[in-house]
Each structure stands twice: as structure tokens, then as C-alpha cells.
Chains A and B, each alone.
Chain A
Amino acid sequence: MGQLPKIVVDRLRAAAGPVRPGNGSGANQNPAERQKHAMANHPDADLLTGFMEQALAGQEREQVVEHLAACGMCRDVVALAAPESVAPALVQGPVSDASSWLRWPVLRWGSAAAVVAVGVIGIALYRNQPSRPPANQVASARSSSNSVAPVTREAVPAQGKSGSKTEPKKAETTVAASDRPSPDVREKSKEALAAPASAKRAPERMEVASAARVPARPLDKVAPKPTSPVATAEQAHVDEPSSVVAVSAGSTPLVEVQPQTSAGGFEMVPQPEKTFSLQGQPTPWGSTPLIGGTASAEARRGPSTPVTVASENRNNKAGFVGRLGKTTGFANSKSLLGTSLRASESGASESEAPAVLLNARWNVSLGALMRSVDEGRSWQTVNVGQGGVWRAVNANNSDVWVGGAKGALYHSDDGGVRWHAVVPEAGDRKLTSDVTRIEFADTIHGHVHTSSGEVWSTIDGGRTWSVQP
């Protein structure tokens, strides 16, 4: 967040000034006078309530806002009285306590190392004569392609709450009015209020390194655990990259260990200690928790993006959507896919969503996709595909879906580092309308609502879709 020079803050404060009832007229040229005039008549409770509930419009609303810009007392009232859940519903990503399937398990994580190998091959081919990939990688990939051995996916250690997965949280922000903060929390908040103003808020905007710049991070190994049977029993089609890739029902599927957080894509930290400053006076009943401790900017990502096929009806339509939104030529993605599939079954170490992105919060704001990795203290715009106007987002930890105008639908399984375009199809129908809402109870079962009233549903994480009506 940008800081303001002290002179600007001082002049902002000076423009507010004390209340002088009935002074001046609204036609004053001097902005300070205009503001003082606006402060002369405090809006009544009806108008303030109407303002907070977005029930005012036009000049009336403008007058109230003009007053609030100048009157700290009324701003205090608004801060105290603002309704709890006026803000648009945020994306919630309930931690699934059902199956912990990984979608596209074999292909996705197993292909990451293969992409690295292919990159090496490509460079070698470009520079010299065609060279063969390192023998060990090829051997491991080849051996994996011939088996349905369980593939181990390495995951980030659980963060936050350990043990059981939690219930889905409601989308509303903030804590209910009946919550009672503990005294020690209030004391800490008071200390926070006493701290110098400059220290009260850490930089609001955390510089999250783009995925293209962050180094790879070795994955942590976890043992696969039993999951619910896969609905389909498809084999990985190594040589037919255009077809659906799925894990054989007979294999132990890749396991995605969900971080044990209380919520998937969203959890508002309860803030019982609201900042309440009366013209700079300290608040006796507590204050906002100290805002700071931004997440580590050392977000790292794994090797290159694996190619994934989200829908069996895509039929070569979706290629690999790179970090910058460029879709590689399908020929390239085809070869990548082939190699990726082999490597994905090798059980080799693969990259994974950086830990900081696993608990990221997501929101669509003014058509832009926003992500916060510091519990909402700062937000960053996330570029997806070719860009566009986004209208809906849903996240289950690192599994994120975003939809927008004209059927734009993208999926990321690594917290937004990489995105894959998804084109739901059912028979001769295809999703082309604006996506207005996305609901995924977990990484497998979801619905996509459109502006034309369609509801596209998937029960396999986007591989196949059905549509109603």
C-alpha cells in the first residue's frame, strides 16, 4: 500500500477541522471550506444506515460521503455500525473431509520432472545434435509408463490446524457480534494501538514473486493414503495426449495432502478488536490486531507446468497455458504431454503449490482476479490466460477455478501459479455464456453457473461435464 507524506496526512486532517454548524454555503470554492460546510450537518441515523446498506444514491449519497470524508466522529459511527456481512461474499474453499483425490494425479505431478527433462533435451537439441535425455530419467519414465504403480505426490506439510479437516466456513467476513475476545488478545491489541503509527500496519501490498521468477522447491514426500475409488478406470494414454488422462482405478492414486487449515480459499481472521479511534484518542476497549507479519516473499514453485487435460471432450483444444498466458503450440504440448505422462507415473519428485499459496484467499474485484497470501492484508492481481473480465472464483486450498465472460473458465491446482483453460462440453453443447458462479465442494465435485441459466456440473474434477437444463 502506498504511504502518504506527512504533509498530505496533515492537510487531510486540517481539511476535516471542527464542526461548525450552519456555517458557509455549499458553493465555496475552497475545498477546506466546502468540507467544513459538509460537516456542518451530521447525517441522521437513517441516512448513515442507508449509506452503509447501499440504499442511497446520487446526490444524497454524495452529500453523506462528503460529510464522512470530513467528519471523524461520523466515520467512527459508521465504523462501529457497519453491518457485518455487507461485503461481497468471498470465495470459500472448504477443506474437504471426504475424498482426498488429486485430480489428474498421475499426469500433473508426475509430468513436472518430465518437463524439466524435456527442457534440457530441447536446449541440447537446439544447440547441438539431438541428444537423449539423461538415461536415468528416461528409464524411470519408461518403467512407470508400463505400470500402474502408485504414484506418490509430495505435498506441503499441513499448516495451521493439524489433524482433522475442518468444516467449511461461511463466506461472511468478520466474527459474529456474540464472540467474546479474550482479555489477552485485547491487551495485545492495545499494545498494537500504542505502537507508532508507522508500525501498525505492515506494508499492505506484499510483493509476491511471480511464478516465473521463483525458484523450484523440492517437494515433501508423503505416503499415499487410501481414497475413494475413482469413478473411471482409464489408463493414462501416453501416446495420445489429446485424450483424457486419468488414474487407473486399480492404482493407488496420487494423494494430495490438504493443508490442515480451517478453510480452503478463505478464512477471515476474526477481528474482535476493531480499530476505534476517536479523533486520535486511544481506545480503551481494544483495537485491531497488529497487522504485520507478511508471508514470506520467498514463494517458490516447482518445475515447469505439467500439461493437464481437464475434460475428456477437449480433444486437443486446450494446450498448455503458460505463466504469461500464452498457449503453446499444440505440437509442443503434445510432446510435453506424452513425456509428462511417463514421468508423472514415475513417482519422481514434483513441484507443488508453494506453501504460501495453499492458504491463499481469492476474490474477483472489478473484473480482476485477486489473491491474498497474508490473510487479506494485501491483495495482488493474478493474470490468467489471455486476461479478461473475471466474474467468479472458487478455491479449495490450492485448487482454484476462475470463470468470466464468454465462457472463460480456467483451473489451477497449484494456487494460481499455473492455469489451464477448461472448456466444458456435453454432447453438442459447450459452455459459452458468461460464468457467474462457481461452486466446488471439493476438488472433484463442482458446478459452474452461467448467465444464460445453465448449470454445468462435474464429478471428476472437470474431466467430464453435464449441463442442465
Chain B
Amino acid sequence: MSGSAQSPAGTRWLAEVRPVLRKLFAQSGASKFGLSEAAFSQALSEAAQKYLPATAAAKEAAEFWRGLKLEELALARACAAGIEAAWDIFLARYREKLYDAAWAIAREESAARELADSLYANLYGMNERDGRRVSKLASYMGRGSLEGWLRTVLAQEHVDRYRSRRRLVSLDEEEEAGHQFIAAERVEEQPADPRLVQAVDQALGKLPAEDRYVLASYFLDERTLAEIAKSLGVHESTISRRLDKITKSLHAAVREGLLHQGMSRRQAEEALEADVRDLQVNLRARLSAQEAPVKQRNVET
């Protein structure tokens, strides 16, 4: 393996961490899955190389490893190595959860089953590379629980499938469905005041990443408070209060930015309170609500 003497996989470094690896191997119970100490140590080394900087000391690596889900990592690696005993344990523990998670994601029986079966095939290693079975479980590094990792992989697969499916919608199918294709109305959207844009960009830029994540989840993705709270591991009331606080501070920051750019306080308030485009959008929404719904698609001219 490459690496400097002091870096992960370096000779001296390995010598320093060997006792730690031995201890962690015993703690993980990897032997009950049929996984050897060498294979387990290999898995830990890979994780350290992936997530730790090259200059990480042995002590840092040891601390990093102790934070991993060692038992689940051992099980995943044993399964990736094709050990049948490990697979028996994996299926007993996770088969039901896998299908339940797939259903929770896909919300439709056949799609969920397809999703779960597809992932299962990847986990089992139906693909081969250089004559060796390649299992997706080999990429599990134990940062989170194996169950959570399986859910995340399912979600990623589902998102990818959904996006690719949307791109491949056939025009013929749409025509058969009776959809009419007419040119979209060209709406002249009044550009926003550049001072307002600048003030908003600055205010958003100063927000902590987590605040922007909460804002994006709520206002762009239209997630519920409960969903956002779940992803951050807090209660939804915390998100509620936080959103309130963020929007208020954002208003104040944008207002300050506008004042800085020479607007009067009244102008700044009006700029924030009455975005002309909002008025246009509302008017369009009201007008369009009176028309029969017709599916439109841009036809390139």
C-alpha cells in the first residue's frame, strides 16, 4: 500500500495502529461473520484513507475507527466477501427492512419491489469485475448504521431512476394521451432591482450553511417541518422557531443592505414588501385559474 510512513497505510503508521486494529476486531465480533482479522483491518484502512487527511496520525485514525459502526462494517465486508454465514445473518436482519424502506421511498408496491430487488442484486454482487464478484456492500464504510446506509442507497437509486425517467418521456406517448402542444406564452418578467438582488445575495451568503439548508428545504423543496427536523435530528418545533428567526433576520439583513446602497428606509421596505413580479405572478395565477387546464410544452421554433 502507498502512503508515507506517518500516513494511513504507511508502514510505521500500520505498526502503530496494529494493536488498535486487533482490539477493534475483537470488539466488532467480526469472527462470528467469518471475517478474518486481515480483511477487517483492510476495511478499516480503506475507511481511514477515504475520510482522513493524508497526514492523519495513528491516534486520529484510532479515534476515527472507534466512531464507526464496527459490527455492521464487519458484517457488510463479510457479505461482500461472499461468506454465506454472513449473508444469512444479513438477510435475517435487513431483508424486511430493505423492502420496508423501499416501500417508504417508492410508495408503490411494484416500484418498491423493483427498487429493493435491484439493490439486493447490487449488494449480492451480481456484477463482476475482473472475474470477481463486486458487491456494493464493499463500499459501506460504517460512518452511519448499515440500515441507514441501505436506506440512503435506495433513496439515491430512486432519485436517479425518477430523474432519468422524467427525461425520457416520449412525445408520442404524450400525444396519444391527448396532450396538446402549444407554445408557451412569453411572459415579460420585469427584472428585479439590481440593488435588491445584491442585498439579497449578500444576506443569503452570510447565513450559516444549516440555515440555508433549512430555508432551501422549506421554501424550495416545500418540505414539512417534520421532514426537515427529521433530517437534522431535532424536534419540529425547533425548526419552526428557527425558520421564524431566519426569515426575520433575513428581512433585517436585506433591509440593511438596501440602506447601505443608498435606499431610504421606506424604499427598502417597499422593495421587500412589494416585489412587482409577485404582483404579476398573482395576476397570472388568477387569470389562468379561469382557463381550462391544457398541458403545454415548449415547442422550439
**Interface residues in chain A, defined as those with a beta carbon under 8 Å from any beta carbon in chain B:** 1-13, 15-16, 30-32, 34-35, 44-56, 60, 62, 65-66, 68-70, 72-73, 75-84, 86-88, 90, 173-174, 176-178, 181, 186, 196-197, 200-201, 204-205, 268, 271-275, 277-278, 281, 285-286, 288, 291, 363, 365-366, 368, 370, 372, 376-379, 381
Name the CB-closest residue of B to A281.
Answer: B166
Contact, CB under 8 Å: B152 / A49: yes
Instruction: List B contacts of A181 (CB < 8 A).
Output: 107
> B54 interface residue, CB < 8 Å from A?
no
Q: A164: shortest Cβ distance to chain B, in Å?
A: 28
- Inter-chain CA distance A68–B163, complex, in Å, is 18
Nearest A-chain residue to B212, judged by Cβ: A69
| Contact of B238 with A83 in the complex, beta carbons under 8 Å | no
Q: Contacts A81-B105, A87-B236, A365-B235 given: A204-B220 contact, CB under 8 Å?
A: no
Number of A-B pairs, beta carbon distance below 8 Å: 258
Q: Are A278 and B143 in contact (CB under 8 A)?
A: no
Measured between beta carbons, the chain A residues less than 8 angstroms from B240 are 1, 204-205, 378-379
Residues of A within 8 A of B156 (CB): 45, 77
A72 touches B221 (CB 8 A): yes
Task: Decide if B149 touches A45 in the complex (CB within 8 Å).
Answer: yes
Chain A binding surface SS class? mixed
Select one of B221, B251, B273 contacting A75, CB under 8 A.
B221
Question: B236: nearest residue on chain A (CB-CB)?
Answer: A376
Q: Which residues of A contact B278 (CB under 8 A)?
A: 5-6
Contact-size category for B: 35 or more
Q: Is B144 a contact of A8 with CB atoms below 8 Å? A: no
B→A interface (CB under 8 Å): 51, 67, 100-101, 103-108, 111, 139-145, 148-149, 151-156, 158-159, 162-163, 166, 192, 196-197, 200-206, 209-210, 212-213, 215-217, 219-227, 229-231, 233-238, 240-241, 243-244, 246-248, 250-251, 254, 272-273, 275, 277-278, 281, 285
Question: Would you call B144 and A50 a contact (CB within 8 A)?
Answer: yes
13 contacts between A and B (CB under 8 A): A1-B244, A4-B215, A8-B250, A12-B216, A48-B152, A52-B233, A80-B154, A82-B230, A86-B230, A87-B236, A173-B226, A286-B107, A379-B237
B67 proximity list for chain A (CB < 8 A)? 55
CB < 8 Å: which of A73, A376, A379 contacts B159? A73
Q: Given A7-B196, A49-B143, A177-B101 in contact, is the A1-B149 Cβ separation under 8 Å?
A: no
A46 to B210, CA, bound (A): 19
Contact A2/B227 with A49-B145, A363-B237 known, Cβ cut-off 8 Å: no
A177 and B104 contact, Cβ closer than 8 Å, known pairs A11-B200, A87-B235: yes
